[in-house]
Amino acid sequence: MAAIQNLLEASSLFPIPSGLSFSYGTAGFRSDASVLSSTVFRSAVVAALRSLATGATVGLMITASHNPVGDNGVKIADPDGGMMTQRWEPFADRVANAPDPHSLVQLIVQFAEEEDIPLGGMKSSEILLGRDTRPSGEALLEDAKKGISAVAGVVAVDMGILTTPQLHWMVRSRNKGMKASEFDYFSQIANSFRCLIDLVPKELLKNKVEGKLIVDGANGVGGGKLEELKVMLTGLEIEIRNVGRDGGVLNEGVGADYVQKEKVAPSGFGSADVGTRCASLDGDADRLVYFRVLSPSSNTIDLVDGDKILSLFAVFIKEQLSILNKKENKDIASGLPARLGIVQTAYANGASTDYLKQLGLEVVFTPTGVKYLHKKASEYDIGIYFEANGHGTVLFSEDFISRLEAKQKELASSCAGSEYHNAALRLLAVTQLINQAVGDALSGLLLVEAVLQYFGWSIQRWSELYHDLPSRQLKVKVADRTAVVTANAETQVVKPLGLQAVIDAETVKHSRGRCFIRPSGTEDIIRVYAEASTQEAADSLAQSVVQHVASVLGSGNPQK
């Protein structure tokens, strides 16, 4: 069969690197860029098969997000714009690690038969390709194109240099029959941002948030894209630093991951910025955190992380729903019932969870990983998820959007310009502004700015919604991470037997103590997270649990 022979010949040009193995996780495949050629080629084959299997457009992004500039990676976007279905991840692993071209082709043919995927070119599908600004990206993109062309009936469409969320948005839009260019992306989020700003109540305009926003672009793709978007925005003054020019190195001393983990200002920020509202993107602009520099003599900051971004969005959306559902609203037959859910992982600071529950919101937990958060959030009419690292979004069900659109039309005819009508318009604008496919630092940033304008809040007022509990994260090397099995969204140890009881005994010694452990997904390390009412207590709890883990499993020294 010609299609199989073509795949075999193309695969022979991409031998796998000796002594290495690759695993497809939440972030796709990532490694040093110099060893990724065969992995990218083979991932492109998987993406092509996924497109044939679904009969829809699929995306493939070349990026390593917040990793160092020497790394790169590849991830696949499913037809809904989300991450590739978890059911295909084991297949992607086997494809990436097949020892030779014949084994690879045999694996693909067998899988195609099981999944009823045509390999003879009878169907036609497309893959949207994107890459970030890493120097290795251009060559790896060419490897991806060769992988796609090796599968009959599938074509590659190069969308150019993009943020990761832009590519996900384009895939989702293309499959919904909507315009899906980068200009369309910019236009949609700029227009919806403008709509939200125009809907700020006039009585609140006197509390308008003053001052510009300064954004750290992580010397990555996001800074340049924000420069392009900036010219389409009204009502927001933005200064962008660390755009990637003038010798700045991607993710080196800059970026959301650096700021969130180190809790210091990124390079290029200093004494002149004390008190100013600042934000930081990561290398491919799917993470966002805010901060303000506290002292002119140091780079210490007040960090406003993903937990507080989630809380800000939750307060705003809850208020709009409350307005729509006011009992004294006599202008419409009924309100707009909606199930609003907040989705977190065990790494969310306990103070944020307490705050959200005190608001009367439903809070649920999933295992660590965006793929778990996103799936759970999609079960609600409105589902909000964010990790502390700043990756997250707001999901609206298609049914809720339809009901919201109908309600907006009803209100437009009966009480246009009322608070009820404006609340419906705000929620509709949010559905257009926030990226429904994946966490997006650019759209998230605009939604933050619009909500701060709506409430008239400074970054300090926002930061004071609640005060984080002190915490400590440690990791300890073990002989075999699979010896630890967890349950209840990774908050309880099932195996080894008796270890959870020991953790509980240590935890109750501390006021507001909370502690859990979980195995790393990629290396023989057990991660330990602890919280308590003081930093000293959180440190003590974490250290005690590390010692117990070490004594049970055997390990090296604990590491931060």
- The share of the chain scoring above pLDDT 90, in percent, equals 86
Asked whether the predicted pLDDT for residue 129 surpasses 90, the reply is yes
Phi and psi at 62, nearest 5°, equal: -95, 105
pLDDT of residue 334: 75
560: pLDDT strictly greater than 70:
no
What local confidence, expressed as pLDDT, does residue 425 receive? 98
Q: How confident is the model at residue 78 (pLDDT cuts 50, 70, 90)?
A: very high
- Give the per-residue pLDDT at 558: 47
Amino acid present at 171: V
> Does 521 count as an annotated binding residue?
yes
Q: What is the pLDDT of residue 99?
A: 96
The residue type found at 271 is S
Q: What average pLDDT does range 282-298 have in this prediction? A: 95
Residue 331 in this model has a pLDDT that exceeds 70: no
| 334 assigned ligand-binding residue | no
pLDDT(266) > 80: yes
Residue 201's pLDDT band, with cuts at 50, 70 and 90, is: confident
Residue 332 has pLDDT above 70, yes or no: no
Class of domain 307-444: alpha beta
Give whichever of 116-120, 298-302, 479-483, 540-544 has the largest mean pLDDT.
540-544
pLDDT band at 11 (very low <50, low <70, confident <90, very high): very high
Q: Do residues 303 and 289 make contact, with C-beta atoms less than 8 angstroms apart? A: yes
Q: In 3-state terms, what secondary structure has residue 252?
A: coil
pLDDT tops 60 at residue 216: yes
Q: What is the pLDDT of residue 96?
A: 97
31 is catalytic: no
286 carries a ligand binding annotation = yes
pLDDT of residue 84: 96
Catalytic member of 37, 38, 43, 65: 65
Domains 211-302 and 471-553 agree in fold: no
Of the given ranges (176-185, 195-204, 324-333, 405-414), which has the lowest mean pLDDT?
A: 324-333
The stretches of 269-358 forming alpha helices (DSSP H) are 306-324, 350-358
Given a cut of 70, whether residue 244 has pLDDT beyond it is yes
The annotation status of 116 as a binding-site residue, yes or no, is: no
Whole-model pTM over 0.85: yes
Q: Which of 286, 254, 285 is nearest to 370 (CA)?
A: 286
Token look-up 């507080």 returns 308
pLDDT at 328: 66
Asked whether residue 393 carries a pLDDT value surpassing 70, the answer given is yes
pLDDT at 333: 60
Asked whether residue 65 is marked as a ligand-binding residue, the answer is yes
How many angstroms separate the CA atoms of 110 and 385, rounded? 38
Query: Is 519 marked within a binding site?
Result: yes
Q: In the chain, what are the domain boundaries?
A: 2-177, 211-302, 307-444, 471-553
**What is the average pLDDT across 514-534?**
92
CA distances from 284 to 17, 72, 162 (A): 26, 11, 8
pLDDT in tens, 412-437: 998 888 999 999 999 999 999 999 99
Instruction: Supply the CATH classification number for the domain 2-177.
Output: 3.40.120.10
Q: Greater confidence, 415 or 168?
A: 168
514 marked as binding residue: no
Is residue 555 over pLDDT 80?
no
Per-residue model confidence (pLDDT) at position 245: 84
203 labelled binding-site residue: no
Question: Tell me, what's the pLDDT at 312?
Answer: 98
pLDDT category of residue 100 using cuts at 50, 70 and 90: very high
The torsion of the CA quartet 471, 477, 482, 486, rounded to 10 degrees, works out to -10
Residue 291 pLDDT class (50, 70, 90 cuts): very high
- Give the integer Cα–Cα distance in Å for 246 and 248: 6
Nearest residue to 221 (alpha-carbon basis) of 282, 136, 266? 282
- As a CATH number, domain 211-302 is 3.40.120.10
80 is in an annotated binding site: no
Q: What pLDDT shows up at residue 122?
A: 67
Residues listed for the chain: 560
Residue 520 marked as a ligand binder: yes
Residue 165: pLDDT over 90:
yes
Known binder of ligand: residue 527? yes
Cis amide bond preceding 496, omega within 30: yes
Q: What is the pLDDT of residues 298-309, one digit of tens each?
A: 889 999 999 999
Question: What's the mean pLDDT when you consider all of the chain?
Answer: 94
**Is the pLDDT assigned to residue 75 strictly greater than 50?**
yes
CATH class of 471-553: alpha beta
> pLDDT digits over 15-29, tens only?
999 999 999 987 899
Report DSSP letters for 142-156, one per residue.
HHHHHHHHTSTTEEE
Model confidence band, residue 392 (pLDDT cutoffs 50, 70, 90): very high
The 3-state DSSP class for residue 334 equals coil
Note whether 476 and 530 are within 8 A (CB): no
Q: CA–CA separation, 19 vs 127, rounded Å?
A: 30
Residue 324 near residue 316, CB atoms below 8 Å: no
Q: Does residue 426 contact residue 320 with C-beta atoms inside 8 Å?
A: yes
